[in-house]
Structure 1
Amino acid sequence: MQSFEKWVCEVRREFHRNPELSFHEHGTQERIMSILGELGIDSRKIADTGVIAEVRGMLPGPCIAIRSDTDALAAHEVLSPRNEDYISQNPGVMHACGHDGHMAIVLGVARMIMEKQKEICGTVRFIFQPAEEIPPGGAARVIEEGGLEGVDAIIGLHIFGDVDVGQVNIRAGPLMASSNRFTVKIFGKGGHHATPDMCIDPIQIAAEFISSLKPAVSQKVNTSGHVLGFGMVDAGKQFNRSPDELELVGSFRTFDDNDIDTIEQVMITLLDSLMDSYSNDFMEGVPSYDLDVYRGYPVLFNNPLFTENACNLLQTIFNNVSAHPDPIFGAEDFAYYLREVPGMYAIIGTKNPEKGIVEVNHSSGFDIDEDVLLNGVELLYSLATDFLKNPGEYLE
């Protein structure tokens, strides 16, 4: 077999060449199972296009799960001097978020665990999860289908393009935000602009809603603890006519799941007030509105005790470990696993200006410094084996 470093890099490049979208990771699934088989590890399918596998040590003990996501993004990869040997062969689809690296890292951990199987006390479960990129995501499916049964703890990581290569960021408590989408439909009374007294203009109502919502939310939720924006406004077909209805779509993110309820209530209160101010006695039933708040991934909350001990361990291995990074407004369905069992999610950096690797995640020019692959393997392998030796230090 190839040297470990070369093998991990080639595994990553193979996945990078063959990206697949969420819940369409059929080829990816088959290749993961093939690689696991080559390592002597049995596996099975889960969540349609996911894979689950286990390595049991020679002695009894707890079970820790290690998760990788597997899906790619709908983006056309830009050719560069670095990626010409492994650029996406699936036009319009690319691994622009590092999931190819995640798969290679977790498979690298699986190879190392198999090589040390006789020394392992307990079980390591490997979860290759589909569809992280598109809510409701694949994590919930994995959980529903028993992917966490018998698991005592879970760990995972994410490669980030705006974090320096070699940097490891872990944080007890909220690390990543919830993601939520809202849709507002406003129903008015259409008519000619020459007779405004015969109309109730939903565009004007929406304009007030848009200008008022952010200040109203900021009075209830700390400004550093949320972001909110508007993404689409759809109304009207005629320049001199007020439309009958309007649809407005936006999103918001928070670091506290309770803030989701607060923001939704602010929206309701503001919309109710606008309906009252634009109503009149001559037009019954209008204006009115429908509000739908779709709750996406919840806040990713790292178990404090697990994270504290993980930090202590990792600071003995890596030179640059931050235990107090700012939480980030990105969202991850790994959050669902952490609602079920204790564990931790880590961020490792890949930014390296000297190699020209500076693009952020989801960019069509995104690439990784492949040195980060061995960092990721060492991080997850060290955490998994230390947990199996000392589970009491990680669990309450």
Structure 2
Amino acid sequence: MKDDPSAEALEAWIIRLRREFHRYPELSFEEYETQKRILKILGELGIEARKIADTGVLASIRGTMPGPCIALRTDTDGLQIQEETTERNRDYISRNNGVMHACGHDGHMSMLFGAARLFLENKDFPGEIRLIFQPAEEIPPGGSERVIAEGGLKGVDAVMGMHIFTNHESGSVGLRPGPFMASTNRFEIILKGKGGHISKPESCIDPVRMATDFITNLYPALEKWLDPDKYVLGVGRIQGGAQFNRTPDTVGILGSYRTFDSETTGIIDRTIKECLDEIVEKYRKPGDEFSGLPEYDLDILHGYPVLVNDPVFTATVNLKLQESFPELTVYPELKKAFAAEDFASYLQIVPGIFISLGTRNQEKGIVEINHSCRFDIDEEILLTGTKIFHTLALDFLKNPERYLAP
């Protein structure tokens, strides 16, 4: 897609920005230096901007004619990961100890800036481009809710986002109409037994055994109700006890599950509670010393909703990509992913699409999955993503009726 000398200059600028952002990642809602850098670049480009969601930025580029508004969104936060040195990243490895851009957000920001430059080169278009530099995508409830609450989508007719993934080859594009990415839900359980000396089990109620039974029983209980392709569930932490010869009083269990619809979420919610009720009944003992025990506390947090791409919008994007980029490999029915994204919240407000941009390149050794300490980007895709942002947004502003359901 390097079809002219100016494209080469733009690509070099985008790559330089990506590496600058990669060197200095910041955690969710701590992106203050990143925010300063974004505001500085926008100021240099002459784009009006303001702070939003504490550490985010909202900016606008207006065309020469009245028309609709489309928002283009990037995330800005890094992850709590210590980046590992590789043959590729020596010049731009993270300088912030224990924090890394391991999910492509550095690339997302640079592509959005690249698209902004293309719009500035020719403002002969109707309407407005809204640029959303959103913080805190990585932690529920996510920065998108703050952006929405503070008016970030006010006056917006459509929204578009893009994410870099290693699950398909470099430079290819994945689309999916309807449900695309899963909801994310967290459960935390405190099992309360009765502690005591391990040599006197009759005087104790063992929460460790209760936790073991709960986990053992939960999976087959879910399998009675749900097909395995409808959800994933896992326990990420079990914590309790401190002494080798003492039965602890409590054990904590922390886990999560992901689904593609509210019905499945409700079945899992109910099944967790039913399994806990059965465990409590199983371990109940007579006697005043066991009064009220065992018991449990259950806290379920429903995080990001299911990400649902607008079918009409997605179909039009597919046609436009094939028309404008005939050399581009487009997967119009990419498999649903159990990954989750708070971009889903925008799509509950206005129609739009979330696009997957592939970066897997076996020859370059770019094969590590997102969130790996060795994750990297094939930087050749950045110009591709930039041009996709620009082409689709411009086409929407000129032909909104093609993208929006009647």
In the alignment, does 2:383 pair up with 1:374? yes
Judge which range, 208-217 or 236-245, deviates more: 236-245
In the alignment, does 2:318 pair up with 1:307? no
Match of 2:227 in 1: 222
In the alignment, does 2:361 pair up with 1:352? yes
| Aligned with 1:241 (options 221, 238, 246) | 246
Q: How far apart, CA to CA, are the structure 1 residues paired with 2:301 and 2:346?
A: 20
Q: Counterpart amino acid of 2:61? A: V
Percent identical among aligned pairs is 52
Q: Structure 2: give runs of 5+ residues left out of the alignment.
A: 1-5
Residues 162, 359 of structure 1: 8 Å contact kept = no
| Aligned with 1:44 (options 42, 50, 55) | 50
In the alignment, does 2:295 pair up with 1:293? no
In the alignment, does 2:135 pair up with 1:130? yes
Q: How far apart, CA to CA, are the structure 2 residues paired with 1:187 and 1:88?
A: 43
Q: Counterpart amino acid of 2:264? A: D
Superposition pairs of residues 61-80 of structure 1, within 5 angstroms: 61-80=67-86
Superposition pairs of residues 374-393 of structure 1, within 5 angstroms: 374-393=383-402
Q: How far apart, CA to CA, are the structure 2 residues paired with 1:373 and 1:208?
A: 49
Q: How far apart, CA to CA, are the structure 2 residues paired with 1:14 and 1:108?
A: 14
- Where 2:102 maps in the other structure, the secondary structure is coil
Judge which range, 165-174 or 230-239, deviates more: 230-239
- Where 2:338 maps in the other structure, the secondary structure is coil
- Where 2:317 maps in the other structure, the secondary structure is helix
- Where 2:254 maps in the other structure, the secondary structure is strand
Residues 105, 374 of structure 1: 8 Å contact kept = yes
- Where 1:219 maps in the other structure, the secondary structure is helix
Match of 2:3 in 1: none
Q: Counterpart amino acid of 2:79? A: L
- Where 1:262 maps in the other structure, the secondary structure is helix
Q: How many residues align?
A: 395
Q: How far apart, CA to CA, are the structure 1 residues paired with 2:82 and 2:283?
A: 46
Q: How far apart, CA to CA, are the structure 2 residues paired with 1:18 and 1:205?
A: 45
Q: Structure 1: give runs of 5+ residues left out of the alignment.
A: none
Q: Counterpart amino acid of 1:334? A: F
Structure 1 length as normaliser, TM-score? 0.96
Q: How far apart, CA to CA, are the structure 2 residues paired with 1:167 and 1:85?
A: 26
1:349, CA displacement in angstroms? 0.7
Q: Which runs of 4+ in 1 moved over 4 A?
A: none
Judge which range, 61-70 or 192-201, deviates more: 192-201
Q: How far apart, CA to CA, are the structure 2 residues paired with 1:299 and 1:59?
A: 36
Per-residue Cα deviation, 1:57-111 (whole angstroms, up to 9, x for no partner): 1111110000000111122222223222222222222211111100000011111
- Where 1:123 maps in the other structure, the secondary structure is strand
Q: How far apart, CA to CA, are the structure 1 residues paired with 2:31 and 2:310?
A: 30
Q: How far apart, CA to CA, are the structure 2 residues paired with 1:277 and 1:86?
A: 56
| Aligned with 2:266 (options 247, 261, 278) | 261
1:328, CA displacement in angstroms? 1.0
